[in-house]
């Protein structure tokens, strides 16, 4: 691994080249901590500006490929809750959450989403529909900075309720973006 250091900032190239090669991953580091990564295609693998970070997770209909999570098939319209995991580090403050429907959830007739820090919670995004492609749900203004930082890492939950049985929701994909201030490296 080659490292070029400029004061406290280093550009680390995975491989032996001294010039970035588009087939290799590039990490920009600050005092040894990766603050920005780009994969071999030049696509960021993390979005970082100082200590502001954004995590993207995708949820697909039943059996939809290339998603982080999928809804389970069921012959009912019961709410399903997806735990995106402890994606907010300890002591971090959530500053924005939004979702974008990438592909329409056909077979659902409607699909209502809410996002929170507890199962079935809506302290981040109130209940609204994400059924159609390009539907965007954003954090309500009255929710901004209302979720206090926690001593331990925090999970984010997405709860959805379809207008028809889950077993028919075999298409659709939504991306959920969670932006927070990370203070763990300070």
So where are the chain's domains? 2-45, 49-181
Question: Average pLDDT, whole number, for the chain?
Answer: 81
Cα–Cα nearest to 105, from 40, 158, 171: 171
Q: Are 69 and 59 a contacting pair, CB within 8 Å?
A: yes
- Average pLDDT on 133-142 reads 87
| pTM of full prediction above 0.75 | no
pLDDT band (50, 70, 90) for residue 131:
very high
Instruction: Label the pairing between strands 69-70 and 52-60.
Output: parallel
**CATH (residue range 49-181):** 2.60.120.220
* pLDDT tens, residue by residue, 1-58: 454 444 444 445 454 444 444 445 555 555 555 555 555 555 555 544 458 899 999 9
**Cβ neighbours of residue 168 closer than 8 Å, sequence gap 6 or more:** 107, 108
- What is the structure's pLDDT at 51? 85
- What is the structure's pLDDT at 183? 83
Q: Are 91 and 150 a contacting pair, CB within 8 Å?
A: yes
* pLDDT tens, residue by residue, 97-129: 999 999 999 999 999 999 999 999 888 999 999
Burial class (CB in 10 A: 0-12, 13-18, 19+), 125: buried
∠ CA 43-35-54, rounded to 5°: 65
């Amino acid at each position: 691994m080659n490292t070029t250091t400029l004061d406290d900032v280093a550009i680390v190239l995975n491989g032996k080249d001294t010039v970035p090669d588009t087939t290799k991953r590039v990490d920009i580091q600050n005092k040894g901590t990766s603050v920005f990564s780009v994969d071999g295609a030049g696509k960021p693998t993390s979005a970082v500006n100082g200590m502001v970070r954004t995590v993207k997770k995708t949820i697909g209909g039943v059996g939809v490929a290339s998603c982080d999570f999928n809804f389970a098939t069921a012959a009912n319209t019961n709410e399903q809750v997806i735990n995106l995991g402890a994606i907010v580090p300890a002591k971090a403050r959530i500053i924005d959450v939004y979702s974008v429907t990438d592909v329409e959830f056909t077979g659902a007739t409607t699909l209502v989403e809410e996002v929170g820090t507890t199962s079935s919670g809506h302290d981040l995004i109130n209940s609204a529909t994400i059924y159609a492609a390009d539907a965007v749900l954003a954090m309500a203004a009255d929710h901004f900075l209302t979720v206090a930082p926690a001593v331990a890492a925090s999970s984010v939950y997405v709860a959805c309720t379809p207008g028809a049985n889950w077993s028919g929701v075999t298409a659709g994909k939504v991306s959920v973006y969670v932006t927070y201030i990370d203070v763990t490296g300070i």
